[in-house]
């Protein structure tokens, strides 16, 4: 994909109060893949819900509780529509990590047996590895690992050769949090379904960066988080096909997920409430929907083009430096990982911080990928809709200073 560097910028820095230092200087925040800054519109929504509008949901007969319940369920509908799903197919969770664990401990525990197989990839986040390891230890299922291509994409040709009728689940990142590489998700779905397996997609990095439609992707499960989509922390979502949710047993017990409780037994609410035990993250869910409103007002296609252009700008600036190693494909989605010869990423991150530039340095919760690459860590710059060329130039200046310091 060739995206012109001169793609028109999205000028929204003024909407994000966190992009200024304590001294009133610009803060060049390039760690959006870890968590995004929040626009004032989302901050105001959460403050209003926690203040003048606040009440519990699903329980009260008084008017404010009823209004809050309507607002909470409207948020569910809004977030579901954002990814092309229906409201009764979307479960609010504490984040994508909990959503994957929910699928593993509910659908997985009910459907996997000893000898069944799960296919993951070399580039997965720990949150898309460890829950399946826990499930495998519990059930006797086996885990296979699909390799990646030379430019850092999940190798679907290899996946096709690996998949058998013993595979019950394929679980892949839609966009790598380290390499920014984008999966051909529709082909992955076709390959999984051809052997009777289900497909789960980790959408943490894709949902903030591109338009997503779960119906078009034909996946079975899709997970994503609010805090990477310019919304609050502590809330995320699992979208799943309605018939799968209907078949899944609850994985946590308590209030809100029941129909009737006696000491001789209990019956459970239909999905999605069946999977939302206890008082939910009310303000956070409504803030999640406010973040959806915010990005859709800009346009996901515009955000994608903007971030591709910034990636191209940064890679062009780094390429002439012969002591820098770049990872991932040229058309990575908003993420650039790299190394400077002789400079540990943590040292680079510390020096950049002195220049008011914030990047991530480390293994990015992807240690198996680091092992595959033969390195302990990378430096990672990741863009958001508020990023612009001034952030790229500040990073390049900081890198040049670091190179001088280290000779």
Q: Which residues carry out catalysis?
A: 365
Q: Do β-strands 167-173 and 198-202 pair in parallel, antiparallel, or remain unpaired? A: parallel
Q: How far apart are CA 341 and CA 399, in angstroms?
A: 12
- β-bridge mates for residue 237, sequence order: 92, 224
Peptide bond preceding 272: is omega within 30 degrees of 0, i.e. cis?
yes
HEC string for the chain: CCCCCCCCCCCCHHHCHHHECCCCCECEECECCCCCCCCHHHHHHHHHHHCCCCCCCCCCCCHHHHHHHHHHHHHHHHHHHHCCCCHHHEEEECCHHHHHHHHHHHHHHHHCCCCCEEEEECCCCHHHCHHHHHHHHHHCCEEEEECECCCCCECHHHHHHHCCCCEEEEEEECECCCCCCECCHHHHHHHHHHCCCEEEEECCCCCCCCCCCHHHHCCCEEEEECCCCCCCCCCEEEEECHHHHHHCCCCCCCCCCEEEEECCEEEECCCCHHHCCCCCCHHHHHHHHHHHHHHHHHCHHHHHHHHHHHHHHHHHHHCCCCCEEEECCCCCCCEEEEEECCECHHHHHHHHHHCCEECEEECCCCHHHHHHHCCCCEEEEECCCCCCHHHHHHHHHHHHHHHHHCC
């Amino acid at each position: 994909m060739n995206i012109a560097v001169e793609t028109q910028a999205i000028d929204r820095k003024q909407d994000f109060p966190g992009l200024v230092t304590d001294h009133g200087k610009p803060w060049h925040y390039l760690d959006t893949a870890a968590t995004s800054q929040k626009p004032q519109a989302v901050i105001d929504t959460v403050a209003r819900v926690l203040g003048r509008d606040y009440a519990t949901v699903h329980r009260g007969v008084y008017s404010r509780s009823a209004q809050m319940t309507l607002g909470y369920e409207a948020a569910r509908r809004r977030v579901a529509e954002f990814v092309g799903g229906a409201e009764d197919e979307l479960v609010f969770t504490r984040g994508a990590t909990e959503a994957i664990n929910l699928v593993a401990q509910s659908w997985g525990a009910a459907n996997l047996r000893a000898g069944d197989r799960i296919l993951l990839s070399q580039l997965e986040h720990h949150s898309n590895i460890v829950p399946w390891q826990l499930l495998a230890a519990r059930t006797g299922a086996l885990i296979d690992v699909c390799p990646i291509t030379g430019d850092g994409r999940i190798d679907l040709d290899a996946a096709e050769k690996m998949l058998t009728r013993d595979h019950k689940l394929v679980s892949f990142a839609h966009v790598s949090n380290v390499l920014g590489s984008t999966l051909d998700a529709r082909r992955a779905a076709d390959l999984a379904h051809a052997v009777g397996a289900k497909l789960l997609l980790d959408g943490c990095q894709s949902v903030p960066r591109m338009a997503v439609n779960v119906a078009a992707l034909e996946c079975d499960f899709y997970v994503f988080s609010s805090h990477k989509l310019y919304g609050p922390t502590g809330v995320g979502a699992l979208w799943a096909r309605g018939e799968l949710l209907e078949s899944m047993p609850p994985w946590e017990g308590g209030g809100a997920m029941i129909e009737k409780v006696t000491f001789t037994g209990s019956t459970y609410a239909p999905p999605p409430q069946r999977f939302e035990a206890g008082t939910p993250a009310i303000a956070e869910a409504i803030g999640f929907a406010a973040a959806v409103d915010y990005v859709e007002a800009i346009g996901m296609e515009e955000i994608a083009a903007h971030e591709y252009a910034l990636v191209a700008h940064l890679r062009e600036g780094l390429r002439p430096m012969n002591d820098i190693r770049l990872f991932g494909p040229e058309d990575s989605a908003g993420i650039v990982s790299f190394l400077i010869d002789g400079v540990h990423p943590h040292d680079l991150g510390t020096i950049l911080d002195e220049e008011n530039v914030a990047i991530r340095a480390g293994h990015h919760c992807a240690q198996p990928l680091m092992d595959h690459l033969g390195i302990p860590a990378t430096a990672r710059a990741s863009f958001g809709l508020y990023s612009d060329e001034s952030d790229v130039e500040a990073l390049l200046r900081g890198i040049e200073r670091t190179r001088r310091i280290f000779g």
